[in-house]
Amino acid sequence: MAIEKAQCFLSRKFEVHIVSNLPPQPGPLVAHCASKDDDLGNHTLTTDQDFDFNFCVVPFTTLFFCHLWWGNKDISFDVFNTKTIMQQCTDRQCYWAAKSDGIYFAGSYPPEGLHKVYSW
């Protein structure tokens, strides 16, 4: 499930993946991602489903965040910003995985070095 591919001119394009590595119960993962200018809406992800989107970076200002819900758990966090996360995303790919015990990050796709960043 992907959002329309961005065409960048004089800018770099990045891609963010939000993946559900959750069991089917207590239900699917719901992800709502947005930036100041773009609301990507709600996306319902079943086990191993991937929601990805891409965008052109505006130097020093681009920020995307997501709010995730799974059963009675929820969390909000930045999935991309130009100050810290951008430098961790090799080949301009950022990978976030929701697991039963929290949220994991890898700076590549397919993910290598996946590590826990947040607890629910």
Per-domain boundaries in the chain? 13-118
Calpha distance 57→65 (Å, rounded): 14
What pTM did the predictor assign? 0.91
- CATH architecture assignment, domain 13-118: Sandwich (2.60)
pLDDT at 97: 98
Give the CA distances from residue 54 to residues 14, 15, 74, 115, 117, in Å, rounded to whole numbers and listed in that order: 5, 4, 24, 22, 22
- Residue-wise pLDDT tens for the chain (120 aa)? 545 555 777 778 999 999 999 999 999 999 999 999 999 999 999 999 999 999 999 888 999 999 999 999 999 999 999 988 989 998 899 999 999 999 999 999 999 999 999 999
Residue 8 tokens read as 């960048």
pLDDT at 102: 98
Peptide bond before residue 26 is cis, with ω within 30 degrees of 0: yes
